[in-house]
Chains A and B, each alone.
Chain A
Amino acid sequence: EDKVVQSPLSLVVHEGDTVTLNCSYEVTNFRSLLWYKQEKKAPTFLFMLTSSGIEKKSGRLSSILDKKELFSILNITATQTGDSAIYLCAVSQPDTGNQFYFGTGTSLTVIP
């Protein structure tokens, strides 16, 4: 059965710390892996990764995909309280059947 597993489930850190969030997947067909940030409302898109080994970066956030080992990591450096959120990982498949599979998310809390 296809699945996406995120770890840890929750994490509490202090401002300034660096965190690494993990996402592993098992899907029959793979097109891309996506990271979203969810605060109080809608998940908002962070990154889409399609190729192994190519880091995507946006400010203090970065992410990389390993298609051989079937996982991705999301790094956040110099964390701030505004980074507190649930981070969701999703895997997309080609245009047949269910296109997106989501993990359960990692809840990150950044303490001042």
Chain B
Amino acid sequence: DADVTQTPRNRITKTGKRIMLECSQTKGHDRMYWYRQDPGLGLRLIYYSFDVKDINKGEISDGYSVSRQAQAKFSLSLESAIPNQTALYFCATSDAGQPQHFGDGTRLSIL
């Protein structure tokens, strides 16, 4: 089983729909992150959480929200999806000062 699991793996939806991407981990890490990856732009941080009661905006948080339901679960929501949110989304986890471990990604297409 994967240490960092993202669901769904692929999603196609329409503009204006609410979407939730979920991430769960079995690594026991306190820190969890959501990134999006676009061609030519690399990985950009959306939100991050250092523990269950800690939520922080990353560099591109507009249009997104997150929920840290438990140490092992961190979900990303798009309240009203728009086409420029089409991207590959990654969840990652880490311990303080240690490399991040990534999920396999969710490919999201918004029509």
A interface residues, Cβ below 8 angstroms from B: 31-32, 34, 41-45, 48, 88, 90, 92, 95, 97-100, 102-105
Residues of A within 8 A of B104 (CB): 41-42
Residue of A nearest to B98 (CB): A48
Q: Closest CB-CB distance, B50 to chain A, in whole Å?
A: 8
Contact for B58 among A42, A98, A103, CB less than 8 A: A98
A34-B99, A42-B104 in contact; A98/B42 too (CB < 8 A)? Answer: no
The 7 closest A-B pairs by CB, nearest first: A42-B102, A104-B42, A102-B43, A45-B99, A41-B104, A102-B42, A42-B104
Are A103 and B42 closer than 8 Å at their CB atoms? yes
Interface string of B52-68 (1 = CB under 8 A from A): 00001011000000000
Which of chain B's residues have a CB closer than 8 A to the CB of A100? Answer: 33, 45, 100
> Does any Cβ of A come within 8 Å of B12's Cβ?
no
Q: Is the CB of B42 within 8 A of A45?
A: no
Is the CB–CB distance between B99 and A88 below 8 Å? no
Whether, in the assembled complex, B34 has its beta carbon less than 8 Å from a beta carbon of chain A, the answer is: no
A32 neighbours in B (Cβ, 8 Å): 97
Contact of A42 with B40 in the complex, beta carbons under 8 Å? no
Expressed in whole angstroms, the Cα–Cα distance for A77 and B18 within the complex equals: 47
Q: In the complex, are the beta carbons of B97 and A98 less than 8 A apart?
A: no
B74 at the interface (CB under 8 A from A): no
- Provide 23 A-B residue pairs closer than 8 Å at the C-beta atoms, listed in order of the A residue: A31-B97, A34-B99, A41-B104, A42-B90, A42-B104, A42-B105, A43-B43, A45-B99, A45-B100, A45-B101, A90-B43, A90-B100, A95-B96, A98-B48, A99-B31, A99-B48, A100-B33, A100-B45, A100-B100, A102-B35, A103-B42, A104-B40, A104-B41
